Each structure stands twice: as C-alpha cells, then as structure tokens.
C-alpha cells in the first residue's frame, strides 16, 4: 500500500543514529537527528524543511554544520527543533563562525530554532543570514496537550522528554488518514475527476454533514460540466479511507520505568518503531553506565508499546560484524510477548 511518508535510516548499516523521512511527491523531507549526515545526497538535504534533534551529544548534532554549509545560498528556510535550552545551543553554533558576507547571498537562509522545555512550553528564535544570523527571539508558546511540535496537512510530529542523564526528545511521526479515490466509481456515476475531489476530501475529513452540497465541476472535450451532489452520496460511492501510520524514533535513553511510561503514552500501538539497541544484554552494566539501552531492553519497550514492527539502530562499534546478534536479541525480547 502506498504510504504518505517514506522512511530510511541515515546510516544503512544502522550504526550512526538518524532517520530520513521523505514526504512522497512533495519534494520535502524531515530529518531526525543531525549526526553523521555527510553521506546523504545533497539533493535530499536541500529538501529538508524540518530537523528534529533528540539531544545535543555530538553524534546527534555535529551534522548541523554540514546542513548549514551545504544549504548556504541554496536552502532558503528550515526549522530545527530540540529539547530544553536548544535555542541557545543553535545560537552558540551560529556564533562560532564569522559571518561577514552571507547577507549578500542571492538566496538568503532563515533558520527557525525551537525548543521543547521541561514544562512543555516552547521557545523560539530566528536566525536570518540577511542579519548575519543575529538572534531574533519570538514569543514563547504554551504546552500542547497532545505534545504536537509540527502539524502538517499530511502528518504531525509529537514529542516527549525522556531521560539519558540529560533530557532527550523521543518522537512520534503520525501520518494523517488519507482518502483514496475510486476512479472507476466516479465514471459509473457519470462524473469525472477535477479539483472538486480535494473539496470533497476536505469535507469528509472534517466530518461535514451528509447534506452539505459539493460543487462537482469538471472540464472535458464537451466543455464545462457542473452538478451539485450531497456529501453523503459522494462519500459512500467515491472514497475509502487509508489509516495513517504511527512511527516512533527513540534513541539515547535509560531503561527506567519513567521513560517507558512516557513512551507508552507517546507511541501506543506504533506501526513502526525505530529504537536504539546499543549493547547486548551481556553488556548490560556497560549500557547502564552509558545511559543506553541493551537490545533486549529495546525489544521489551517495543513489546510494552505494542509496536507492530521494529527497526533497531545506533549499534555500538564494539559489535561490528555482529549486528545480527543485536537484531536477534531485539526480536527475541519482542517475541517473548507472544508467550506471555
């Protein structure tokens, strides 16, 4: 089935963290974490509209500079989200460089930096190349009861803070339900496709009353046609609903009950969960010292959130060539649930 979002790990070998979310047919993309992104195609990076940074450890944030350098003079606007204090850290990144010519670039760059604070409130500031990336603070915003950071017509991005001996954002990416048109039925009704289909989809998605009239207008060789039909008639005959997926991106956290509860609320029944599986259970003490999960713990979390499918990643370099052991441990911990 065709999905709205196309996802893949930044590093196909799953060692470095990061997720690419491509919005199909829209020439725009989202990035989750800005770590080692240098291997991504420039044409992909230049489609990025939003980057979401879990936390500012280097392996998740050093790639900010790569995107900035690549995008200068080419990428007109992007928004970057992070956890508590993140706006200041974006400012520090930008202030570390000398900007004395960027204000003359033909294509300026506007960076919108936003942070999710401990109390759920949001801070924001803009950094414009035309003003040599000087910080311009925006209004602080209150918490959102549904944890939404980005509400797009096609999807939304939500986040909760988890603990990694520092705050880290865990993300849910939720595709919105899509309405599919049955072309053969349109013809059977003596109608033809046209811009009215968007109006109908919007009406159906908004829960419009059955008697709401839709202006069915189209153009063909015989000229312009117009019919007015009620939503009820068109809803029943023309469309069916494709539910959206809930997708998780979870990395760099401790295996604590408090963290698991946050994830249960953020990611219940996730269709697809990307989750760090840094160490083997045999190295559990080491995982504890480093504030990371073992593969077994990752599988346990996947089970607790009732994830349908899991993509483990952020493997420690100590397991190079043994990644299959990490994957097997995640699968076994998830599979245990079937027997419980």
Contact footprint for Zn ion (CB under 5 A): 57, 59, 252
Smallest separation, CB 17 to Zn ion (Å): 5
Q: Which is nearer to Zn ion, 127 or 249 (CB)?
A: 249
Give the CA distances from residue 8 to residues 14, 40, 65, 237, 277, in Å, rounded to whole numbers and listed in that order: 10, 11, 21, 36, 17
Q: How far is the CB of 23 from Zn ion (least distance, A)?
A: 26
CB of 312 to Zn ion, least distance (A): 14
* 179-207 burial: b if 16+ Cβ within 10 Å, else e: beeeeeebeeeebbebebbebbbebbeee
- Select 112 or 276, whichever has its Cβ closest to Zn ion: 276
Specify whether the CB–CB gap between 71 and 37 falls below 8 A: no
Tell me how far apart the alpha carbons of residues 93 and 210 are, in angstroms, rounded to a whole number. 54
Angle at 22 between CA 17 and CA 27, to 5 degrees: 140
C-beta closer to Zn ion: residue 58 or 106: 58
Nearer to Zn ion, 81 or 127 (CB): 81
Which CB, 125 or 170, lies closer to Zn ion?
170
CA 159 – CA 217 distance, rounded (Å): 42
- Cβ proximity of 220 and 192 under 8 Å: yes
Contacts of 67 (CB under 8 A, 6+ apart): 31, 34, 37, 45, 48, 51, 75, 78
CB of 59 to Zn ion, least distance (A): 5
- For 25, half-sphere exposure in the C-beta direction (CA atoms, 13 angstrom radius) is 4
Minimal distance in Å, beta carbon 44 to Zn ion? 22
Q: What is the gyration radius of the CA atoms in the chain, in angstroms?
A: 23
CB of 326 to Zn ion, least distance (A): 15
Residue closer to Zn ion by CB (options 176, 284) is 284
């Amino acid at each position: 089935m065709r999905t709205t979002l196309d996802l893949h790990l930044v590093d196909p070998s799953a060692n470095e963290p990061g997720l690419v979310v491509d919005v199909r047919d829209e020439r725009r993309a989202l990035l989750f974490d800005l770590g080692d992104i240098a291997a991504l195609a420039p044409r992909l990076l230049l489609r990025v509209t939003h980057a979401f940074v879990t936390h500012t450890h280097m392996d998740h944030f050093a790639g900010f500079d790569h995107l900035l350098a690549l995008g200068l003079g080419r990428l007109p606007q992007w928004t970057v989200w992070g956890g508590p204090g993140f706006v200041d850290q974006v400012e520090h990144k930008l202030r570390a460089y000398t900007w004395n010519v960027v204000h003359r670039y033909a294509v300026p760059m506007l960076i919108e930096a936003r942070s999710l604070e401990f109390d759920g409130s949001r801070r924001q500031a803009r950094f414009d190349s035309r003003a040599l990336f000087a910080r311009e603070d925006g209004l602080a915003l209150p918490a959102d009861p549904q944890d939404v950071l980005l509400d797009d017509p096609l999807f939304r991005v939500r986040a909760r803070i988890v603990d990694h001996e520092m705050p880290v954002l865990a993300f849910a990416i939720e595709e919105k339900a899509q309405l599919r048109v049955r072309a053969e039925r349109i013809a059977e009704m003596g109608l033809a496709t046209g811009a009215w289909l968007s109006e109908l989809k919007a009406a159906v998605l908004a829960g419009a009353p059955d008697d709401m009239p839709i202006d069915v207008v189209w153009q063909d060789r015989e000229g312009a046609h117009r019919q007015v039909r009620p939503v009820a008639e068109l809803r029943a005959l023309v469309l069916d609903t494709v539910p959206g997926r809930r997708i998780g991106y979870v990395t760099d956290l401790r295996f604590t009950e408090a963290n698991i509860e946050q994830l249960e609320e953020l990611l219940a029944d996730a269709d697809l969960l990307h989750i760090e599986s840094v160490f083997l259970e045999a190295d559990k003490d080491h995982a504890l010292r480093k504030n990371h999960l073992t593969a077994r713990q990752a599988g346990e979390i996947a089970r607790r959130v009732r994830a349908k499918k899991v993509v483990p990643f952020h493997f420690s370099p100590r397991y190079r060539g043994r990644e299959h052991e990490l994957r097997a441990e995640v699968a076994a911990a998830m599979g245990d649930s079937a027997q419980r």
